Amino acid sequence: MPPSPPPPDDPGIKLREHTYDGIQEYDQRLPNWWLYTLYGAIVFWVVYWFAHMLSGLATTDGAQVDAAMTRIAAAKMASSIDVSNDGKFWEMSRNPVFVEAGKQTFQSNCVPCHLPSMRGKSENPAAVGPDLTDTAWIHGGTPKEIYVTVSKGVPTKGMLSWEPVLGQKKTVEVVAYLLSHHQPGETITVQLSN
């Protein structure tokens, strides 16, 4: 048998008579903070359930997300850049701030297919993406056509749709970086790839 136990906090607390294989049990009352935690959680359940399921005030999670996405779309439209103006793109491609920003984005997203040199298949035939420095284009070589290719992608050829990922500003910067390797008015040939 263990040595007789020291008295519990409250001398009125009794040790239960029954022992189990020598194990004894006090019968102390439950700590107040513990009880209040339990009661508090029960009250929270009642209030939360009422607010979300019964009051009719709560909107569904899906509706909340839809509303938030609509706001985001509106914000994007409000700050959208005019991408139909070829002259503007050429202007950007001669601005070092734009080009440098575009280069950063290109390095972190585009090099797996187009290679750091931008020369893609011309440098290494096993590369996924075509050469972006020559004057031969597959999906059109004017600035706004290049923008559409980057922005919407060409899924069947493995080119991703980048604007949802990068946002419009970064997409435009990448196009400016591409154009910085070209001259306005250079001869463009459009050829289909095999």
Task: Point out which residues bind another protein (CB under 8 A).
Answer: 2-3, 5-6, 15-16, 18, 20-31, 34-35, 37-38, 41-42, 44-45, 48-49, 52-54, 56, 58-66, 68-69, 72, 75-76, 79, 108-109, 111-113, 128, 155-158, 160, 165-167, 169-170
Q: Nearer Cβ to another protein, position 47 or 188?
A: 47
Take residue 78 and report the two structure tokens written for it.
Answer: 């409000």
Give min distance, CB of 153 to another protein, in A: 9
Collapsing DSSP to helix, strand or coil, 159 comes out as strand
Q: Nearer Cβ to another protein, position 29 or 94?
A: 29
Q: Nearer Cβ to another protein, position 108 or 189?
A: 108
User: Cα separation of 163 and 173, whole Å?
Assistant: 11
User: Cα separation of 179 and 92, whole Å?
Assistant: 9
Q: Nearer Cβ to another protein, position 58 or 136?
A: 58
Give min distance, CB of 188 to another protein, in A: 25
Q: Nearer Cβ to another protein, position 129 or 182?
A: 129
Give min distance, CB of 9 to another protein, in A: 9
Give min distance, CB of 118 to another protein, in A: 16
CB-based contacts of 11, cutoff 8 Å, min separation 6:
none
Question: How crowded is the C-beta side of 7, counted as CA atoms within 13 Å?
Answer: 5
Give the H/E segment covering residue 190: strand 189-190
Backbone angles phi, psi at 24, to 5 degrees: -105, 165
Give min distance, CB of 187 to another protein, in A: 28
Residues 88 and 175: beta-carbon distance below 8 Å = no
Give min distance, CB of 181 to another protein, in A: 23
Q: Nearer Cβ to another protein, position 138 or 160?
A: 160
What's the alpha-carbon Rg for the chain, to the nearest Å?
34
Place of tokens 């919407």: 152
Largest CA distance in the chain: 101
